[in-house]
Amino acid sequence: MDRCNQTGALDFVFLGFSSERGTNLCLFAVFLSLYLVAIVGNTLIITAIHIDPRLNTPMYFFLSNLSFLDICYTTSVVPQFLIHLLTNHKNISFNCCMAQLYISLALGGTESILLAAMAYDQYAAVCQPLHYNVIMSRRLCVQMAVASWMGGFLNSLVQTVFTMRLCFCSFSNKLNHFGCELLAVIKVACSDTFISEMSILVTGVIVLQIPCIVVLYSYMYIIRAILRIHSSEGRHKAFSTCTSHLTVVTLCYGTAIFAYMRPKANISPNQNKMLTVFYAVVTPMLNPIIYSLRNKEVKGALVKAIWKTIL
């Protein structure tokens, strides 16, 4: 029996979705399409924000951060999955698996905290419009963005360290997943995982539930302020902007809390695979679409960016 002293030389084997080549080829085409749409869409959002002076505001500063996060997040998972769909060799070394785990957890945690910062920006814009530019100074925006990144990477460091301290054995090295997802990795450990599971719950409260509460609390005041706006055009514009953010928030927090904040007995491998697909592939693809469809300024800037790229 290979114990902890062998984990450095251990390879994990991904079971993925299917062992049939025809099914894997179909999945390759689907996921490649989704990945390309996510990369192109988020790149266009970032380009549009940087070339249009009208979008030089805190809201779009945070949106460009979110788009960059989505590009990094989906790239940390999808390319490896695409390669494994085309090959019979679906192995990954222990060290590479831990690296992928660390990066994906860090980016996911950063996005969770960043969405709370974006909610505060929305609150300042709607509830304190006369003092908005003073409250949301460039310095504060940068500080909030940096705090989001630092919080995400610190959370990931804690989770990865606890995971690396577990024992893994060569006879149980098959991950019922298509990537090094935290719950899938912990499930194949040969040692007691109680401390790791408790750390997931504790950090889940800090990184997922507290930011989610901040968002909900902010939107209580935002909705109340919007209903007090006398102009129907003003209410429509405010609701359009807030609806985009709320949709993204629901997609992000809903899937992440459902995946990580449930009792262990209720966790299904197939459910976790589908949830990972949703927040690592589908959500990064949908975010630029959601923001561009609900925002005329973004749509105009995107058209300008596309024309500049073509010409």
Residue 278 is predicted with a pLDDT of 87
Q: How far is CA 276 from CA 179, 222, 233, in A?
A: 9, 31, 39
What are the tens digits of pLDDT across the range 276-290? 888 888 889 888 888
pLDDT of residue 145 exceeding 90, the answer is yes
pLDDT of residue 264 exceeding 70, the answer is no
Asked, for residue 3, whether it belongs to a domain, the answer is no
Residue 47 is predicted with a pLDDT of 86
- Count structural domains, the chain: 1
pLDDT, average across residues 43-50: 87
Residue 129 is predicted with a pLDDT of 85
Asked, for residue 239, whether it belongs to a domain, the answer is yes
Asked, for residue 229, whether it belongs to a domain, the answer is yes
Asked, for residue 40, whether it belongs to a domain, the answer is yes
Give residue 2's pLDDT band: very low, low, confident or very high (50, 70, 90): very low
Task: Outline where DSSP puts E strands in 2-111.
Answer: 11-14, 91-93
Q: How far is CA 75 from CA 31, 100, 141, 179, 281, in A?
A: 12, 10, 26, 12, 9
**CA–CA separation, 290 and 115 (whole Å):** 15
Residue 110 is predicted with a pLDDT of 95
Residue 250 is predicted with a pLDDT of 85
Residue 268 is predicted with a pLDDT of 72
What are the tens digits of pLDDT across the range 111-140? 999 999 999 998 998 888 889 989 999 999
Residue 1 is predicted with a pLDDT of 41
Domain containing residue 167: 9-310
What CATH number is given to the structural domain containing 301?
1.20.1070.10
Asked, for residue 200, whether it belongs to a domain, the answer is yes
Residue 147 is predicted with a pLDDT of 96
Residue 5 is predicted with a pLDDT of 44
pLDDT, average across residues 38-45: 90
pLDDT of residue 61 exceeding 50, the answer is yes
Mean pLDDT is highest, among 127-131, 154-158, 178-182, for: 154-158
Name 91's bridge partners: 13
- Are 67 and 288 spatial neighbours (Cβ–Cβ below 8 Å)? yes
Asked, for residue 4, whether it belongs to a domain, the answer is no
Angle of helix 138-164 relative to helix 58-75, nearest 10 degrees, comes to 20
Mean pLDDT is highest, among 23-37, 169-183, 279-293, for: 23-37
pLDDT of residue 171 exceeding 90, the answer is no
Asked, for residue 2, whether it belongs to a domain, the answer is no
**CA–CA separation, 87 and 199 (whole Å):** 35
H or E element that contains 174: strand 174-175
pLDDT of residue 152 exceeding 90, the answer is yes
Residue 148 is predicted with a pLDDT of 96
- Are 52 and 304 spatial neighbours (Cβ–Cβ below 8 Å)? yes
Question: Count of residues for the chain?
Answer: 311
Give the lowest-confidence range in 80-89, 143-152, 157-166.
80-89
pLDDT, average across residues 213-238: 82
- Amino acid occupying residue 228: R
- Are 177 and 184 spatial neighbours (Cβ–Cβ below 8 Å)? yes
